[in-house]
Amino acid sequence: MKFLVKLTSPVAVTIEELVRENWQLGKKTVHSLRMQKAFQTPEGIALDWNTPLEVGQAFQIKFEEEGSSYFPSPKIPVQPFYEDDHFMIVGKPAGIKTHPNEVTETQTLMNGVFHYLDGKGHGYGEHVHRLDEGTSGLVLIAKHPIAKNLLDKMLEKKQIVRTYEAIVEGSVKNNQGTIKTAIASDRHHPNRRRVSQTGQTAITHYQVVGRNPQITKLHILLETGRTHQIRVHMAHIGHPIVGDTLYGARAITAQHYALQAFRIQFRHPITGELVNVEIPRT
């Protein structure tokens, strides 16, 4: 694989400084790039790792692509909302898993993504985050190990902002608010989580964007990313997500509960440009 890059650092840096300090790549990735002489001029001449790159200098990175282990499945349709050489953002339907938990599982989003990438001649694709099986919305997929390293670091530093839309039962009293209650596993139900003082810190911010006497539409930002966090917190304040019977909502005719990750925003880790992808609202 190869792609062209322009140095976006405000000062000249060496390749050594770029990969270790600016990009903070893992030791294994750095070693692999060094051994492959991956950093080259646009004409394909290997660059010295200790010679500074000038601000705005163009260079290419060329390396053997590391393969992912997902089984490609044409049965899972893939809807890309954004794609470049480094990553893609795709829509996950409600009702399928983000990734397989067992090698025998082949009907997950990542199986469909891998089939899509395989058709373009790519052997690598890894999800940066995940959504619950019943939650629909945008998922960020790295297309090579450098992008995976960079995006993982950004997610850890909370530099990737994901906004959810939830429709909950009842009329939420406040137009905006923050829920800060710890979440733990429910020992009485293996698939549930519950609010517990002994659990992990969980912080959810919400804003009302629509309401009637029966339901309220919220936009939600997560400060933490606990399993089922939005579902648990909404149920905890007495407003479970419509259709989420696992957390006390009334049964409805729709197959899935009303929660979607509809927007994702961050600075492109390589170009520095703002990435803002949104599923159109109805």
Q: What DSSP element (H or E) covers 116? A: helix 109-119
SS3 192: coil
The encoded tokens of residue 149 equal: 């390293």
Q: Are strands 58-62 and 176-180 parallel, antiparallel or unpaired?
A: unpaired
Catalytic residues: 132
SS3 155: helix
Total residue length of the chain: 282
Cα angle, residue 87 at apex, residues 135 and 109 outer, rounded to 5°: 35
- Evaluate whether 140 touches 264 at the Cβ level (below 8 Å): yes
Question: Cβ contacts of residue 168 below 8 Å, gap of 6+?
Answer: 215, 216, 218, 234, 239, 240, 241, 242, 258
